[in-house]
Amino acid sequence: MKKIIFIFSLLMIGFSIQSQEVKKKKNAKVSFEVDGICGMCKKRIETAALKSKGVKYAIWSVKTHQLNLIMDERKTDVAAIQSNILKVGHDVVGFDAQKIEATTEAYNTVHPCCKYRDEEIILDHEGGLKKQKKKTK
């Protein structure tokens, strides 16, 4: 009788531990910040994210710098996606608000107009984003 109770209690403990396992979502929605300043940056960031296995959707906002993803957590994780973005030369801000910088070699591969670490280029882009007033004759 003691053996039956012991085996039954072990089974119950096993089932309770198994039910607490975190399930990985097929369509997990994730967002984090990625540095960039223009449309070419947008294309490069989104392409790097989409080339990651398991990423179904990626859209990056030039204004907010937020990258929104839909990904299959069973096939990839956020760290792998961030690594791919770092490889194409863009800095990433992780979930803990800690900035992860791309290597200097990777950063130097971006187009000269995309040098988001250069204050002068950032100011040039901000001026270019403003609507031009139409000239009246």
CATH number at residue 104: 3.30.70.100
Residue 49 falls inside a structural domain: yes
Two tokens, residue 89: 């030369």
Residue 121 belongs to some domain of the structure: yes
User: Which residues form the domain of 61?
Assistant: 28-128
Residue 35: per-residue pLDDT: 93
Q: Distances in Å between the alpha carbon of 112 and those of 42, 59, 89, 109, 122? A: 15, 23, 12, 9, 11
Token digits of residue 76: 């990839």
Q: Token pair for residue 40?
A: 């070419």
Instruction: Answer whether residue 46 is part of any domain.
Output: yes
d(Cα 14, Cα 12) in Å, to the nearest integer? 5
Per-residue pLDDT of the chain (137 residues; tens, 9 = 90+): 777 776 766 666 666 655 555 677 788 899 999 999 999 999 999 999 999 999 999 999 999 999 999 999 889 999 999 999 999 999 998 777 788 999 999 999 999 988 988 888 888 877 544 433 444 44
Integer angstrom CA distances of residue 67 from 6, 12, 71: 52, 43, 12
Eight-state DSSP code of residue 53: T
- Residue 47's SS3 state is helix
Phi, psi of 136 (to 5 degrees): -100, 140
How many domains are contained in the chain? 1
Is 112 within a domain? Answer: yes
Phi, psi of 7 (to 5 degrees): -65, -40
